[in-house]
A and B are shown apart, each in its own frame.
Chain A
Amino acid sequence: MSKGKGTFNKQLLIPIAALVALALFNLIKDPSFFKIALGENSAGDPVLSGYLITILDYGSELAILAIGMTLVTAASGGQDISVGAAIAIAGSVILRVLCGTNSRPEELQAPVIVAFLVACLVAMLFGAFNGILVAYFKIQPMVATLILFTAGRSIAAWINNNELPIISEPSFGYYGGYIPGVPIPTPFFIAMICVVVIMLVLKFTTLGLYTQAVGINGSSSRLNGINPQFIKFLTFVILGLCVAVAGLIKVSRLSTINYSVIAKDIEMDAILAVALGGNSLSGGKFNMTASILGAYVIQFLTTTLYKMNVQSDALSAYKAVVVIILVVLSTPIVRKKLSQLGAMILPKKKEA
């Protein structure tokens, strides 16, 4: 048990170290990065603003996706690359339910909660589709999800007859903006709810244990009475749920949707978050906290780069460099070397 705790801390070290490095960099470069101000938005409600708030705000979708992606990665040993397209579908469903057939409704045709639940159902169905391909047909996850990756955005467009609905009702904007009177961006709250829920699930159910068992060795877990296929399937369905939540935030941010660019390339960031969390991308043991931290690290990096006026089309190149460094640092070989180095330095310190 104590050994387990040890790896837990070590794994958390990677995203925390990255976070500290980024924070230090910004502190040296321009301390005003950490300034947070309380202001008002145009509706007259109090809102907090500043780079840190921006990070918490825009990192939320990624953190939510990282939850599902971690489980999928752990159980299936592969990644779902269709989450961006699935967000387009979920978002499109939400708008379709809210707008009915009129793309410019004066008032909402259904409560937001209904639209959201329908989107959850649809996203979980698509998750189930991926899950069936992976778990029962034993298709490589990246290949299986490639189908939805390719077709998803067209499906999303088809759901709304290729129209671009716009919702003018201000209350729909709360989910991606601010609830009047609350100065903290709502997406952060939504992300925290998801985090708490998944932590409780992992603590009080066997989901985490079973997922890791399946990821480490499917056949031996089957011999121990776990159904590996069902666990794999389940992780994809959970990811579908995460996708629906992220989709709600995304469409709420702008009260509209653009099928071809909404949540573009977010799947790569979600996979990166899992990798940054020090989780093995080939499945097995995972650390949820580390993945979620990883997601915020990525947003931290993105915001830092925006602040430095890096051309946004070059952003991914910079991200790649940082990620290469982090991933190489987290490989077993380097880690072994580092811990040896650490072991050499630490005793000396003790002597001194």
Chain B
Amino acid sequence: MRKFGKRILATIIAATMMAGLVGCGGGAAGGDSDSGSSSSSGGTIKVGIINNDPNESGYRTANDKDLKEMFSAANGYEASFAYSLKNDEQITAAQKFIQDGVDYLLLSAADTAGWDSVLKDAQDAGIRVILFDRTIDADPSLYEASIVSDMAKEGETAANWLKDQNLSEYNIIHLQGVMGSAAQQGRTGALDDLAKANGWNIVTQQTAEWNAEKAQQIVQSVIDSGEKFNVIYAENDDMAKGAVEALDKANISHGVGKDVVVMGFDCNKWALEELLAQNWNYDGQCNPFQAKYIDEVIKTLESGGTPSEKTIIMDEKGFDASTITQDDVDKYGI
């Protein structure tokens, strides 16, 4: 406890020093001189954060905001951010952070492959890597911990929910995310398995690349073809919204007790409100608030310990329109 108090004090001092330096107009120089002494206890911890584009979705925006709030100067961190939706650009950013000599590299990889060599470089340079939000195909010794959503479990929860609805028939429009992403693979895998096991009919299975416009066109195309469907399984809220726009245009009713069951993921606030209004049926959570978990891991590592688990899976829920409450919307909406 005392140690904790000391750390806070040190943090405050460091923060005021930083503020002072910036105030003198020597911000850049201050940053440089700071990095020399930051290596261990007391000083600011330098973190390089590689994330996907915060504009990609509400999920990412919430995730980025959460990280920015946690890794602030006031909390004893000096954070640099790099954003890209492309793996190669992310790797370049990682190399830059390694050269800058950060203490921790926090990574949400755009793609699962191709990270081995750059993470080895980081290890050689004594930089510790923590994965968040997404896993990668690399040797676990290359990173300290990974804080992830279990996408397969999210998919399972959703698909099982769909099964529990006991619809008389299942004709599903399946809108996938960007192919190859962990979220797409997990959420698609679960639905595919249950569809095969229960003989559900997949009317169409297409990637709308998380994009509402594309989702709208895909659903429009199914409507135009006159094929029957009664479930829309969209792998994120945006695509579910696009699909619903197309349904509204064609006067196909959707929601609780209506013709088409609408399912989304990510728990955007507006999406949960659609659930509350009974326009949608289900929304699966994908918890974007990882900063708290990352902070704990860093604290453990800084005090010389090791995280109890290498893979930390966050709690996630699935919301049903018939049971959701306003409190849920306020609490879990992003």
- Residues of B within 8 Å of A2, CB to CB, are none
Given A47-B249, A104-B270, A261-B210; A312-B55 close (CB under 8 Å): no
Tell me, in angstroms, the Cα distance from A164 to B54 when the chains sit together. 11
Tell me if A339 is interfacial: C-beta within 8 Å of chain B: no
Interface: B90 (CB within 8 A):
no
Q: Please indicate the chain B residues that have their CB under 8 angstroms from the CB of A226 in the complex.
A: none
Size category, B interface: 35 or more
A109 within 8 A of B: no
Proximity string of chain B (185-211) to chain A, C-beta cutoff 8 Å, 1 when within and 0 when not: 000000000000000000010111111
Nearest-neighbor residue (CB-CB) of B211 within chain A: A261
A166 adjacent to B213 (CB under 8 Å): no
By beta carbon, the residue of chain A nearest B254 is A42
Asked if residues A41 and B224 are in contact (CB atoms below 8 Å), the reply is no
A178 to B248, CA, bound (A): 11
Would B208 and A312 count as touching, CB distance under 8 A? yes
Q: Is B36 an interface residue (CB 8 A)?
A: no
* CB <8 Å contact, B218 and A306: yes
- In the complex where A41-B250, A41-B251 touch, is A54 in contact with B213 (Cβ < 8 A)? no
Q: Give, as a whole number of angstroms, the nearest-CB distance from B270 to chain A.
A: 5
Known contacts: A260-B55, A260-B56, A312-B207. The answer to whether A307 contacts B213 by CB under 8 A is no
Among B208, B217, B238, B248: residue with most chain A CB under 10 A: B217
In the complex, are the beta carbons of A258 and B238 less than 8 A apart?
A: yes
Question: Counting CB contacts under 8 A, is B128 at the interface?
Answer: no
A309 within 8 A of B: yes
Nearest Cβ distance between residue A56 and chain B, in whole angstroms?
Answer: 12
Instruction: Give the complex CA separation of A339 and B221 in angstroms.
Output: 39
Let me know if A256 is at the binding interface, CB within 8 A.
yes
Chain A contact residues (Cβ within 8 angstroms of B): what range?
Answer: 35 or more
Whether a CB of chain B sits under 8 angstroms from the CB of A49 is yes
Q: Answer yes or no: B179 CB below 8 A from chain A CBs.
A: yes
- Residues of A279-313 whose CB lies within 8 A of B: 302-303, 306-307, 309, 311-313
Q: Are A162's CB and B54's CB within 8 A?
A: yes
CA distance A253 to B204 in the complex (A): 23
CA distance A311 to B54 in the complex (A): 27
Question: For residue B247, which residues in chain A have a CB less than 8 angstroms away from its CB?
Answer: 42
Which residues of A are found within 8 Å of B179, using beta-carbon distances?
313
Q: Knowing A54-B224, A162-B54 are in contact, say whether A250-B251 is a contact too (CB < 8 A).
A: no
State which residues 243-282 of B face A: CB under 8 Å.
Answer: 245, 247-253, 270
Query: Which chain A residues lie closer than 8 Å to B207 at the CB level?
Result: 311-313
B251 touches A42 (CB 8 A): yes
Q: Chain A residues with Cβ under 8 A from B57's Cβ? A: 258
In this assembly, does B58 line the interface, its C-beta being within 8 Å of a C-beta of chain A? yes
Q: Across the interface, do A260 and B245 meet the contact criterion of CB distance under 8 Å?
A: no
Of the candidates B54, B220, B247, the one having the most CB atoms from chain A within 10 angstroms of its own CB is B220
User: B212 contacts the other chain (Cβ, under 8 Å)?
Assistant: yes
Q: Which residues 138-195 of A have a CB within 8 angstroms of B?
A: 153-154, 156-157, 162-164, 166, 177-178
Contact A254-B61, Cβ < 8 Å, known A58-B217, A157-B55, A261-B213: no
A32 CB-CB contact with B under 8 Å: yes
Give the residues in chain B near A256, CB-CB below 8 Å. 212, 241
For the complex formed, measure the closest distance between the CB of B223 and the CB atoms of chain A, giving whole angstroms. 7
Q: How far does the alpha carbon of A54 sit from the alpha carbon of B247 in the complex, in Å?
A: 13
Q: Are the C-beta atoms of B53 and A312 separated by less than 8 Å?
A: no
Q: Is the CB of A32 within 8 A of B226?
A: yes
**Which residues of A are found within 8 Å of B218, using beta-carbon distances?**
306, 312
With A42-B253, A312-B207 in contact, do A262 and B213 touch (Cβ < 8 Å)? yes
Please list the residues of chain A having a beta carbon within 8 angstroms of any beta carbon in chain B.
32, 39-44, 47, 49-51, 54, 58, 104, 153-154, 156-157, 162-164, 166, 177-178, 250, 253-254, 256, 258-262, 264, 302-303, 306-307, 309, 311-313
B contact set with A: CB distance below 8 Å: 53-58, 61, 85, 178-179, 204, 206-214, 216-218, 220-221, 223-226, 238, 241-242, 245, 247-253, 270
**Given A164-B58, A261-B238, A306-B217, 19 other A-B residues pairs in contact with their CB atoms under 8 A:** A32-B226, A39-B251, A42-B248, A42-B253, A47-B249, A49-B250, A154-B55, A162-B55, A162-B61, A259-B55, A260-B53, A260-B56, A261-B210, A262-B213, A264-B211, A307-B221, A312-B214, A313-B178, A313-B207
| Interchain residue pairs A-B with the least CB separation, the first 5 | A259-B55, A306-B221, A261-B211, A260-B55, A42-B248
